[in-house]
Structure 1
Amino acid sequence: MFKNTLYFDNFPLSTISAYASRINDELESGEVGYYHLTDTSQILVNESLEFIKGKEHIKNIVLVGMGGSSCGVKALRDMLFDEKQNDRKLFILDNTSSHSFLEIIKQISLENSLFLITSKTGSTIEVISLFKLIIAHFNIKEVDFHKYFVFITDINSKLHKESENLGIKCFFIPNNVGGRFSILSAVGIVPLCFCGYNANSLLQGAKACFEDFFKHKKDELLQKAYHYCTHKNANINVLFSYSDAFKGFNEWYIQLIAESLGKKQGYKRIGLTPIALIGARDQHSFLQLIMDGPKNKTITFLKIKDSTKSLHIPNICFKFLDSLSNNVSLHDLLNAQCDATMHALIAENLSVDVIELEKLDAWHCGYLMYYYELFTSLCGIMLGINTYDQPGVEIGKLILKNLLEGVKKG
């Protein structure tokens, strides 16, 4: 069960139905491929499981990727910590930091590791640089590359061409699927299958979200996107996630919203600014600003209903310390903190909604991630921008290449 409750007034469907029509047009056009991954990635699950079959010696999967090639996988690894069917460890190298590189490399040995070099364009300089560092660190001979590396990229990209040159297995991302919308493509499905996560259930959850929106015409998502995009005062959306398991998801949410919705429109600058918090910890830092600071924020609460595995607070009493939480589960305490904070913000007349997951499993994670991809697409349509490009990022990449050329010449 996935439930989204909106604590603000709904708009008449006649006001927002045009946006539903436009996203249907986008779906039917075939130009935006992530919509269809719930179906097309089924064959990829079988291909991934077939490839890894019989490779019991592999104990470590190391994904090397940046941005859209890593954020979603990190989110699912964190959320599905309790749902694995083998003992393979999933490591993620997603920064050109010597500290991060050495911290992961020292935990693995070459003979029981497989590296997933992931780049949609096949030319991400950070990914290619880390690929070369791995080769040099382990002194891997070219003739053995196929044993230790798998490439995930677009068809006909530079990385694809190199895979053919080196004899390395390649899994493909559809050309019409953007990087930050690629979690249900080979970017996510391949490492999840290799590490024993339930990729089929993930796709089924995403498919349920697709059907709720496009087939059953549930309008909570449409109402939410329109309210947040047309809010007179608030252009900051705060995601307040109540569990440490959502840490990676929060990072993915920030990348998805920021890179998709921060755009120029002529001389006008448009966007929703994402902020991601973890409850209840961040109630003791950022909450004060939301409560009493400028009312320029909308707030989404994210919580998990199931608490069957939660620890219970013991019935220990002290003379000077309160006993309010005695015999209460930690999970129930966490959700009570979520509800209390939510109602305090509603009382301040802030725009609030809450997402409730029945439990944290692959199905609900698939639904949640597809929900936010749809939310982002809807917001892009409502803001009148191109949701799927990132011209500001491309400028930085060009400057980096010029700087590196200068370093070489120097």
Structure 2
Amino acid sequence: MLRNNLFFKTSELKFISSYARRMNDELNSGDIGYYHLIHTSLELIDESLEFIKDKTHIKNIVLVGMGGSSCGVKALQNLLFDEKENDRELLILDNTSSHSFAQILKKLKLEESLFLITSKTGNTIEVVSLFKLIIAHFGIEFSRIRDYFVFITDRDSKLHKEGENLKVKTFFIPNNVGGRFSVLSAVGIVPLCFCGYNAKALLDGAKQCFEDFFIHKKEEILQKAYHYCTHKNANINVLFSYGDSFKGFNEWYIQLIAESLGKKQGYKRIGLTPIALIGARDQHSFLQLIMDGPKNKTISFLRVLNSKKSPVIPNIDFEFLDSSSNGVSLHNLLNAQCEATMNALIAENLSVDLIELDYLDAWHTGYLMYYYELFTSTCGIMLGIDTYNQPGVEIGKLILKKILDAQTNS
């Protein structure tokens, strides 16, 4: 299971119950599609497995996407490192970096590779550009693009139309599912199925989170969102994740929170600023600022209670070196460091919460990602903003288009 312990004073239900009702209204409106992916994505599993079952020659799945089309998949790949049932490698191209592009493509043989061109709008300039570069790199004829590519996009998008033109297999993202909330749609389910991960367990975990919030009326998400959104001094939320497997998840968390909650409201600028750290490594860098710097931060700790594969530190005694960790498993040392750091911050009267997963597997990963999607939606309602748009990003895209047009015409 997932437990969320709150180390701050919670509010009476009468102050937050109206937000719960508005979350239910948003769910029942049908306008926000990610709530329903726990059901609607089940058929994607069968469709994905049916498509890939006879492609035994494929050894590499290469996802090409940006932002919401890649961050969630990278998180899943990192978190489910020990859950694969086949030998296919999942590679992710998510930047217009010449170095990254060259490093990934030099590993690939065309006949052993399948590229997933992923863009919700179907016209993401970075994704389209990388798509063209892959075609040119391997010298793929237009008539054979369908042999090496799969498209993941909205129905009736430009990419969908191009897919029909090129006869490329296309998996669809529901139109009412925003990019950064799309990890449980075809964006995440298709590559997971292709690479042998347990997509059904992922959706089952997310479904349990849905039921805990909407049916069993668990309060932790509401209480946490209300406290962090109404805090008088802190508008920065630090996610302190203990374990390197959370690196991709931290990136996803930053995108989810920043792009969803950083908005203008008239002339007022509001939002929570996300910072993501990895414990215990970042105890030796950022922790000093949290402890003794401005008290403008809330801190969420994230850890896994049990590890199936963790070496035990041997009972080796030196004359001068510390022996306090002798006989302790490496995983338990990591969690003890989490506990010690958390208690130090609580003693400083900072607002802290702790998320604990029993195990790191597909079920708990699904629960965790759905938890943070619900948390983000709840914060958006409490802040009085549109959680699902990104007008600031769109302005940059328009300026980029003008710059590229000028370069082309010069």
Normalising by the residue count of structure 2, what TM-score does the alignment of the two structures yield? 1.00
- Structure 1 position 409, deviation (Å): 1.1
Match of 2:271 in 1: 271
Distance (Å, rounded) in 1 between the aligned partners of 2:337 and 2:359 = 18
Match of 2:60 in 1: 60
Distance (Å, rounded) in 2 between the aligned partners of 1:28 and 1:307 = 39
SS at match of 2:136: helix
- Structure 1 position 144, deviation (Å): 0.8
Letter in 2 for 1:90: L
Residues 61-97 of structure 1: per-residue CA shift (max 9 Å, x gap): 0000000000000000000000000000000000000
Match of 1:116 in 2: 116
Match of 2:336 in 1: 336
Distance (Å, rounded) in 2 between the aligned partners of 1:269 and 1:308 = 45
- Structure 1 position 10, deviation (Å): 1.2
- Structure 1 position 308, deviation (Å): 3.0
SS at match of 1:4: strand
* Structure 1 unaligned regions, length at least 5: none
Distance (Å, rounded) in 2 between the aligned partners of 1:407 and 1:10 = 56
* Structure 2 unaligned regions, length at least 5: none
- Structure 1 position 121, deviation (Å): 0.2
Letter in 2 for 1:250: N
- Structure 1 position 307, deviation (Å): 2.5
Letter in 1 for 2:47: E
SS at match of 1:165: helix
Mapping 1:150-165, distance limit 5 Å: 150-165=150-165
Match of 1:358 in 2: 358
Correspondence 1:50 to 2:50: yes
- Structure 1 position 143, deviation (Å): 1.1
- Structure 1 position 37, deviation (Å): 0.2
Match of 1:325 in 2: 325
Distance (Å, rounded) in 2 between the aligned partners of 1:335 and 1:180 = 30
Distance (Å, rounded) in 2 between the aligned partners of 1:308 and 1:108 = 32
Letter in 2 for 1:234: A
Residues 250-285 of structure 1: per-residue CA shift (max 9 Å, x gap): 000000000000000000000000000000000000
Cα root mean square deviation, aligned: 0.4
SS at match of 2:83: coil
Correspondence 1:252 to 2:249: no
Correspondence 1:311 to 2:311: yes
Correspondence 1:78 to 2:78: yes
Match of 2:69 in 1: 69
SS at match of 2:4: strand
Match of 1:226 in 2: 226
Residues 83-138 of structure 1: per-residue CA shift (max 9 Å, x gap): 00000000000000000000000111100000000000000000000000000000
Letter in 1 for 2:136: A
Match of 1:385 in 2: 385
Distance (Å, rounded) in 2 between the aligned partners of 1:22 and 1:391 = 23
Distance (Å, rounded) in 1 between the aligned partners of 2:240 and 2:107 = 33
SS at match of 2:314: coil
Letter in 1 for 2:364: H
Residues 32-64 of structure 1: per-residue CA shift (max 9 Å, x gap): 000000000000111000000111100000000
Residues 276-327 of structure 1: per-residue CA shift (max 9 Å, x gap): 0000000000000000000000000000001231011111111010100111
Number of aligned pairs?
410
Distance (Å, rounded) in 2 between the aligned partners of 1:222 and 1:313 = 40
Residues 183-235 of structure 1: per-residue CA shift (max 9 Å, x gap): 00000000000000000000000000000000000001100000000000000
- Structure 1 position 179, deviation (Å): 0.1
Match of 2:174 in 1: 174
- Structure 1 position 244, deviation (Å): 0.1
Match of 2:136 in 1: 136
Match of 2:406 in 1: 406
Distance (Å, rounded) in 1 between the aligned partners of 2:8 and 2:320 = 41
Letter in 2 for 1:60: N
Letter in 2 for 1:301: F
Correspondence 1:190 to 2:187: no
Distance (Å, rounded) in 2 between the aligned partners of 1:61 and 1:272 = 35
Distance (Å, rounded) in 2 between the aligned partners of 1:308 and 1:114 = 32
Match of 2:239 in 1: 239
Distance (Å, rounded) in 2 between the aligned partners of 1:254 and 1:322 = 37
Distance (Å, rounded) in 2 between the aligned partners of 1:85 and 1:306 = 21
Distance (Å, rounded) in 2 between the aligned partners of 1:187 and 1:237 = 27
Correspondence 1:280 to 2:285: no
Distance (Å, rounded) in 2 between the aligned partners of 1:126 and 1:247 = 23
Letter in 2 for 1:390: Q
Letter in 1 for 2:3: K
Match of 1:216 in 2: 216
- Structure 1 position 9, deviation (Å): 1.1
Match of 1:376 in 2: 376
Match of 2:9 in 1: 9
Distance (Å, rounded) in 1 between the aligned partners of 2:144 and 2:160 = 18
Distance (Å, rounded) in 2 between the aligned partners of 1:269 and 1:403 = 28
SS at match of 2:328: coil
